[in-house]
Amino acid sequence: MNDRAQYEPVIGLEIHAQLRTRTKVFCGCGTAFGAPPNTQVCPVCLGLPGALPVLNRQAVDYAIKAAIALGCDVQPQSIFARKNYFYPDLPKGYQISQYERPLALGGGLEISAGGGKRVGLTRIHMEEDAGKSLHEGFPDSDRRTYLDYNRSGVPLIEIVTEPDLRSAAEASEFFARLRDILVWLGVNDGNMEEGSLRCDANVSVRPVGQRAFGTKTEVKNVNSFRYVQKALEYEIDRQIDLLERGGRVVQETRLWDSASGRTSSMRTKEEAHDYRYFPEPDLPPLMVDAGRLDAVRATMPELPEARRRRFVAAYGLPEYDAGVLTQSPALADYFERVAVAAGNPKAASNWVMGELLRVLNERGAGIEGVPLPPAALAGLIRLVDAGTVSSSIAKDVFARMYESGRSAEAIVAAEGLAQIDDETALLAIVRDVVAKHQDAVAQYRAGKQATFGFLVGQVMKGSGGKANPKLANQLLRRELGA
């Protein structure tokens, strides 16, 4: 094997993200995933002669939103262009994309890998997706390719990074952070299995200290964080091995195969790579003025990083809690409502991260449809803080609230779950325990301290978990000391 440490990988990513519109980018066909083949098609997205594209306003607004969130400069004028090539998933013979004048330039995103760094973005442009080619699974698949154009014309943004990434781990983290932001903004559903978010990587290696880039390959089809990592590790090793053995890297497109864990050269019958871009004559330039930028900016949620910092600063939460609670805007909103209503942010965080997420995970449910309003959970926290219920009973109350939608106060009152603070009532239970467990009492009095815990447990059990633990301790010590 070679010495990997002598080489430095250089990686740039191209990420295609489907914008979460109801309809396609240039026609009114639906974008639902999994529809029967060729049922979401029309003359425009089938490329029939004479059909004319009309741009989807929402797709533009989503693209602008992503660009703003990633710190890009949204261009006052961008131009759609035809990218010409023959491949049957593009029925028009060209893809409508943006080339010389993309929607947005620059921008970047912080990652923590590699000691923390900012990964620059080159550009974000809008384009249409192609149809889906089915190369296998039919009796004549050795001679034929089948096509479903439901995806044809689905709106995408392509996000291109600078070659700033220096390891597979950095690339994987970048992809994950980018996904979080796009999902958080609501512009992409983050679903990599359904192809809503796809990643291609440009990879080269160079001897450490060399400034010039090595020859790169483009690795396609790395559509999960794990695959980004594994495919890049494989490709980096492959290139280093080649160089170490005196070979050279060939500039080519390689396809990642997750089953074999390898990349292999991808060859198609379309060898000509001259896209002959020219401005799309069927679409006017896309003008984005300051008013439109402001209007989109007004719909931007507070971004996860900013919200995480605010949760730490304003509510005194540990970094860990703030990270968990800012997984999604809905979860962060929920927490914040509970924290404010309960007046106890740390308790709110514990309940939301603990019981609530546990129950949601168990049921495979999301926070969006949770039957327990934030005010109700805050009510329970106030009962605990006031000493009305013990924290163990509170978990029980939580479960009942979740099932019934009743308030904590109502459940505690109806089920008699309030903590027993009444000394007379509790003393009766303590005396009963002492009388029933004479052996344990004798052991304790002989000096075996651990037995005390057992006796407290018996008192709690005798009270149905409702005894005020502090008072139970006091009374038991008094009785045993007597």
Partner 1 sequence: MIASPAVAPTLTSADVERIAALAHLELTAEEKALFTRQLADILAYAEQVQAVDTSGVPATAHVLAERTEREDELQPSLPREEALANAPDPAPEAGLFRVPRVIT
Positions touching partner 1 (CB under 8 A) are 21-23, 27-30, 36-43, 46, 54-60, 79, 84, 86-88, 133-135, 138, 141-149, 267-270, 272, 274, 276, 279, 281, 283-285, 287
Q: Which residues contact 159 (CB under 8 A, 6 or more apart)?
A: 13, 14, 15, 16, 17, 66, 70, 121, 123, 124, 178
Provide the phi-psi class of 87: left if phi over 0, else alpha when psi is between -120 and 50, else beta.
beta
Classify 124 as helix, strand or coil: strand
**By C-beta, is 27 or 433 nearer to partner 1?**
27
Q: What is the distance between the alpha carbons of residues 103 and 148, in angstroms, rounded to a whole number? A: 29
CB of 219 to partner 1, least distance (A): 17
144 vs 461, beta carbon nearer partner 1: 144
CB nearer to partner 1: pick between 80 and 227:
80
Q: How far is the CB of 57 from partner 1 (least distance, A)?
A: 4
**Spatial distance between the Cα atoms of 186 and 303, rounded to a whole number of angstroms:** 11
> Do 408 and 380 contact (CB within 8 A), yes or no?
yes
CB of 90 to partner 1, least distance (A): 11
Query: Would you say 37 or 190 has its CB closer to partner 1?
Result: 37
Least distance in angstroms from the C-beta of 187 to partner 1: 13
Instruction: Answer positive or negative: Cα dihedral of 190, 193, 198, 202.
Output: positive
**Coil, strand or helix at 287:** strand
Secondary structure class of 326 (helix, strand, coil): coil
In this complex, which beta carbon is closest to partner 1, that of residue 145 or of residue 407? Answer: 145
Task: State the nearest-atom distance from the C-beta of 139 to partner 1, in Å.
Answer: 10
**Whole-number minimum distance, CB 47 to partner 1, in Å?**
11
Q: CB nearer to partner 1: give 96 or 475.
A: 96
Q: CB 405 → partner 1: shortest distance, Å?
A: 35
Q: What is the DSSP string of 344-392?
A: -HHHHHHHIIIIIHHHHHHHT--GGG-SS-HHHHHHHHHHHHTTSS-HH
- Which residues have a Cβ under 8 Å from the Cβ of 125 and sit 6 or more positions away? 78, 97, 98, 99, 102, 103, 104, 157, 158, 160
User: H-helix or E-strand containing 480?
Assistant: helix 469-481
Task: Give the separation between CA 311 and CA 349, rounded to whole angstroms.
Answer: 10
d(CA 128, CA 143): 28
Residue 310: Cβ-neighbour burial (10 angstroms; 0-12, 13-18, 19+): middle
**Considering beta carbons, is residue 81 or 338 the nearer one to partner 1?**
81
Q: How far apart are CA 57 and CA 60, in angstroms?
A: 5
Q: How far is the CB of 199 from partner 1 (least distance, A)?
A: 21
Residue number with CB closer to partner 1 (56 or 344): 56
**Residue 26: CB minimum distance to partner 1, A:** 9
* Neighbour tally for 50: CB within 10 Å: 6
Q: How many CB atoms lie within 10 A of CB 58?
A: 16
- Closest contact distance (angstroms) between CB of 395 and partner 1 is 45
Q: How far is the CB of 267 from partner 1 (least distance, A)?
A: 6
Determine the Cα–Cα distance for residues 331 and 324; give it in Å rounded to an integer. Answer: 9
What minimum distance in Å lies between the beta carbon of 66 and partner 1?
16
Q: Please list, residue by residue across 415-450, b when 16 or more beta carbons sit within 10 angstroms of its beta carbon and e when fewer do.
A: eebbbbeeeeebbebbeebbeebeebbebbeeeeee
- CB 462 within 8 Å of CB 414: no
| Residue (30 or 120) nearer to partner 1, CB | 30
Closer of 285 and 453 to partner 1 (Cβ): 285
Which one, 56 or 349, has the nearer CB to partner 1? 56
CB nearer to partner 1: give 27 or 70.
27
